[in-house]
Amino acid sequence: MSRDRPLLDFGPVPSIPPPSYAAAHDDEEEKDAPPRRWYHFLPTCVTVLFLLAPQPSWLILLTRYHLGILHDSWRFTQHLCVSYALTLLAFSSLITIITRDPGRPSQQKENAEAEDMNLTQALLADDFDYSYPGRWCRKCWAPKPERAHHCSHCGRCVLKMDHHCMWLGYKCLGHRNYTSFLHFITCISLLSLYIACVSVSATYYAFTNPLNIDDATPLHAMSLGMAGIILTMVLGPFAIYHAFLVSTNQTTLEHLSPFQLLRKLPPLPQQHASNQHRLSDPPLEHELSFSQRRLIRDAHGYIKVYDLGWRKNWAQVLGYDKPYGWVGRVCYGGGGVGDGITFPRNPKADELLARLASELVDVDKIS
């Protein structure tokens, strides 16, 4: 008797519907990434304009005030060297951010290069545990490593994604360019503070010695001082916030999303058949009660999965292993080290996560 279909077929596997956990925990948008247009790069042009616009007034202030009035060539040379050194460092980091890829999972890169690879071949090509919750991207249809996220603006997964920034090339900040981003905002904050201090000093001199200074120099000094103070107040706390993230080895997404701890929980403890909990394993965010959500938020404050101590955290994020390796990173920024897929974990995190899982089950039984 003939058969229309063979018993075994090793051809391309049809698309498999995503599991309920991935559908419930997928916090990325379903829409495809829109193509990049010319207007997407206008914010980057504004960033460059903010770096270049104060330069004429800054040169006028240094020339007329320090050379023409104070006749202090040493201070003139000092202010000129410090300000332009910070400006060049900021531009070098900006160029690195724009030109360097933030980090693409290797399997997704291979899938993009080999369009004829079917699902079975993709899964057999790597021993990645794609069945683990949150480890499979439903947009790229490829494994999503730990700490990686899918960006709807870029249309791809990014290794150790921090956030998407429209002001810096309309691209993501991730494993390979986050160090340059940290270097950039630090240089801009220091430059703004430095210009503000020098300009405020010149403004004070203009008000206390009005007969010794011309009419235009105080205007340049007041404008630069106001701009420097505003930028310092805006970017300074932002730089301090990212210094805190580096010190605790977190990304912006990890710090602002406490329910990502659910993906890192161990298997929930088994209960007696007569007193089963109602949670999935691992738990789903929409299943949590108010008490359980409060428990997750409180645990997010003290469970730092990748915190190795502030010294090791800075060494890992900035990418140096020598005692004075940070000096090079201060001078020219750079990118992260490692493959961006595996990261050392806090030795106390597993115990705290296990305790959190037990507490979630206990609260579920009480409610």
Structure tokens of 284?
């789903």
Evaluate the omega torsion of the peptide bond into residue 56 and state whether it is cis, within 30 degrees of 0: no
* DSSP result, 101-138: -----HHHHHHHH-TT--HHHHHHT----TTSTT-EET
- The number of beta carbons lying within 10 Å of the beta carbon of residue 256 is 11
Q: Write the pLDDT tens digit of every residue in 291-335.
A: 889 999 999 999 999 999 998 998 888 887 777 776 677 676 666
CA nearest to 235, candidates 171, 179, 174, 190: 190
CA atoms within 13 A on the CB side of 332: 5
CA nearest to 334, candidates 87, 92, 103: 92
Instruction: Supply the pTM of this predicted model.
Output: 0.81
Tell me which of 110-114, 228-232, 275-279 is least confident. Answer: 110-114
CA atoms within 13 A on the CB side of 113: 7
CA nearest to 143, candidates 175, 100, 111, 174: 111
Mean pLDDT of 352-367: 81
> Distance (Å, rounded) from C-alpha 249 to C-alpha 243?
10
Q: Write the pLDDT tens digit of every residue in 202-249.
A: 999 999 998 888 889 999 999 999 999 999 999 999 999 999 999 999
Q: Find tokens 């090079």 and name the residue.
A: 328
The mean pLDDT value of the chain amounts to: 81
317: DSSP letter: H
44-58: b (≥16 Cβ within 10 Å) or e: beebeeebeebeebb
Q: Which residues contact 13 (CB under 8 A, 6 or more apart)?
A: 118, 119, 120
- The number of beta carbons lying within 10 Å of the beta carbon of residue 264 is 17
